[in-house]
Structure formats: structure tokens, C-alpha cells
Structure 1
Amino acid sequence: MKKFLFESTNFESKESFHDRLDELAEAYETIPEDVADAYDQLTEYEMWEIIRKMAVEGKRRTANRN
């Protein structure tokens, strides 16, 4: 699931990560079945860890633009 988020998030768009999380939470058809299954099995702690890692990566990628 983390791989999916990293590959499908446009770190130059503020809404992109939020959109991916919405897709996961709502189980949109755009989400691969294995990713949806992995999301369902995550604990809250694991989800927050993924969000933290995404935030760090987003900061790293966008820091070089400014």
C-alpha cells in the first residue's frame, strides 16, 4: 500500500495525497484489490506511520523547488 501511495501521489499538488487517501477510504474502483486489502488490514498506528513517511518525502521533494 505504501508503494501505491508513493507512486500515485503527485508531491507537487497539495490535494494529491488527500485524494489518494479518500480513494482508499472509499474503496474506489481505481484502487487495486491488493492495495485495498492491505489498507483494510492496517492498524491506526501503521496508517499514521505511512502518513508520516509520506509527509517527510513530500517535504524532501518540494524543498528543492523553493
Structure 2
Amino acid sequence: MTNHRKIVLDYLMQETAFTEAQSFVDRIQEINESFETVPEEVIDSYGELNEYELWEIIRKLACEGKRRNK
């Protein structure tokens, strides 16, 4: 069983430039639009997430961005 949340979270943690607020939004948009630069596994996993899981990922990224920008 694949952990879809972990796949998406790991991708966003690696690809988000936490010094730029717009970076996270750009990465989510790239996943939504299935850009060629986004691995297929991430796109598929993102499609399997429910709203709660997506908000949990957003919360974790926001906390990480806050921690890194203190």
C-alpha cells in the first residue's frame, strides 16, 4: 500500500523554496496541471488524497516554512 500523503509531502518539501511565499502555490499548481516536471507518482498520489489529507499537507508545509524563516 502506497502512502499517498508521504509521496506528495516529500515532493513538496523538496521542491518548495521556503524563502518565497508563492513557491508552494506554484508547486501545487504544477501538480494540478500535470506539468512534465512533476513525477507521475506524485500526480497520481495527489489525485488519491481527500480534502483532509491535503489540508494536513498544507499545514505541515506552512509550519516548515515558518520554522525555516524565523
TM-score, normalized by the shorter chain, greater than 0.5: yes
Match of 2:20 in 1: 13
Question: Structure 2 length as normaliser, TM-score?
Answer: 0.87
Q: How does 1:1-66 map to 2 (within 5 A)?
A: 1-63=8-70
Runs of 4+ in 1 over 3 A off after TM superposition: none
Partner Cα distance (1:25, 1:52) in 2: 18
Partner Cα distance (1:48, 1:20) in 2: 15
Partner Cα distance (2:21, 2:13) in 1: 14
How many residues of Structure 1 are paired with residues of Structure 2 in the alignment? 63
Q: CA deviation at 1:27?
A: 1.1
Residue 52 of structure 2 aligns with an amino acid whose one-letter code is Y
Q: CA deviation at 1:30?
A: 1.0
Structure with the bigger RCO (C-alpha within 8 Å, sep 6+) is: 2
Question: Structure 1 length as normaliser, TM-score?
Answer: 0.92
What's the Cα RMSD here?
0.6
- Amino-acid identity (%): 51
